Amino acid sequence: MLTEDKKITTFQTAVIISNCMLGSGILTLPRVLADSMKNSDGWLSLIIGGFLVMLAGLCIVKLCRRFPGKTIFQFSTDLMGKWLGSVFNVGLALFYIFIAAFELRVMFEVTTLYLLEQVPRWTILMAFIWVGLYIVLGGLGAIARLFEIILPITIVVFVISLLLSSKIFEIDNLLPVLGDGVFPVLKGVGSTVLVFLGHELMFILTPEMQQPEKAGKAVVMGITVPLFLNLIAFIMVIGGMSVHGAISSTWPTVDLLRSFEIKGLFFERFDFFLLVIWIMQILTTFSILQYTSSIGFAQTFRINNKPILYFSMPLIFIIASVPRDVNELLSFSGVFGEIGVSLFMILPPIMLLYAVIFKKGGVR
């Protein structure tokens, strides 16, 4: 628990949520959406999915406000009982370790494909893990300050890079709207929800806020930024590559920027800038996931989280090394996504309803 003078602001809370959401999904979402819907209406699914995640985030905030000063790892035992709550906490902390390892492996696959072809896997993974550890050891305040620096740079570089692809943009690739009806749009919402997972960080951020009564505002602000960036990415990728082109590419957002050159400028290719910014963004996602996992174990077993951070390093490395190739890695992402939707979209409203009915928590 941070002291009162070191608690994070509403803006910093929103920034942490945004950074966590801008992980691996922004490079794969256009393909995932186009593949599941077989048309160009994914932008509608994105808006609906973002709205649903906001609702789930507000449920989490409402639930946390009933247990002021406590994280999910502390008040879960009040809700579920000591043993069931402790098992839930351990499962949740392990889930964050798996997601952190997944983000790490995605970063390795993309960097070796486009930037560092001959660099051994262990070198990249270990370097990333150690840098992440250095960030997390500073605590939540240091994490928030770093994220405040990275997010504006990410937004500017990402938007400019994608807008440069307007020279190959074809509006016909996005038409007709609702040509196949509403059902494919609703089907695509499930895929968009996976990308927006990160709102659940409010389970640990709300008690660390200077003004927890503004936690709802932080959730809306935090989700709006990745919603905006994912909308731009989807529209520009489909407009530039078509639905078929997006489906056939593993990393369509990067491939879009590699598909054209700007003559006459100092730089003719801009995929390099996107990848550099994206690696920074993956580092932020990895860091906050590792931090959340350590907090989960520390608060469950009432120990210091720093030894846990060191012990989790080899575990993350081993898990990140398990997938044999990209296809197996992406299949794991589907499993993690379904677990994440159950944990952070379906469970929070149920927990809130249970707390209200059985009058759990100190604030009614």
pLDDT in tens, 30-79: 888 888 888 888 899 999 999 999 999 999 999 999 999 899 999 999 88
In which residue are the tokens 């494909």 written? 113
- Dig out the tokens for 99 from the structure: 């997601």
pLDDT of residue 262: 66
Average pLDDT over residues 8-26: 89
3-state DSSP assignment of residue 8: strand
> Please, are residues 133 and 310 in contact by the beta-carbon 8 Å criterion?
yes
> Please, are residues 309 and 136 in contact by the beta-carbon 8 Å criterion?
yes
The DSSP 8-state label assigned to residue 9 in this structure reads P
Choose among 276, 255, 240, 224: nearest CA to 21: 224
pLDDT of residue 222: 93
3-state DSSP assignment of residue 266: coil
- Per residue in 171-213, pLDDT tens? 888 888 888 888 888 888 877 777 788 888 999 999 999 999 9
Who's near 331: CB < 8 A, 6+ residues apart? none
- Dig out the tokens for 253 from the structure: 């957002």
> Please, are residues 133 and 289 in contact by the beta-carbon 8 Å criterion?
no
For residue 58, the one-letter residue type is L
Average pLDDT over residues 288-294: 93
pLDDT of residue 3: 54
3-state DSSP assignment of residue 7: coil
Q: Confidence class of residue 301 from pLDDT cuts 50, 70 and 90?
A: very high
Question: In terms of pLDDT, which residue wins out, 338 or 89?
Answer: 89
3-state DSSP assignment of residue 138: coil
- Per-residue pLDDT for 337 more than 80? no
**What is the share, in percent, of the chain residues with pLDDT greater than 70?**
95
- Per-residue pLDDT for 4 more than 60? no
- Per residue in 92-138, pLDDT tens? 999 999 999 988 998 888 888 777 778 888 888 999 899 999 999 98
pLDDT of residue 269: 65
Average pLDDT over residues 325-330: 82
Q: Is 77 exposed, middle or buried (0-12, 13-18, 19+ CB in 10 A)?
A: middle
- Per residue in 136-184, pLDDT tens? 998 899 999 999 999 999 999 888 888 888 888 888 888 888 888 888 8
Task: Count, in order, helices (H) and strands (E) of the chain.
Answer: 15, 0
C-alpha 362/C-alpha 170 separation (Å) is: 56
C-alpha 170/C-alpha 241 separation (Å) is: 9
- Per-residue pLDDT for 266 more than 80? no
- Per-residue pLDDT for 2 more than 60? no
> Please, are residues 222 and 18 in contact by the beta-carbon 8 Å criterion?
yes
> Please, are residues 180 and 326 in contact by the beta-carbon 8 Å criterion?
no
**What is the share, in percent, of the chain residues with pLDDT greater than 90?**
46
In which residue are the tokens 């056939």 written? 248
- Dig out the tokens for 266 from the structure: 């100092």
pLDDT of residue 158: 87
Average pLDDT over residues 236-260: 85
Q: Confidence class of residue 22 from pLDDT cuts 50, 70 and 90?
A: confident
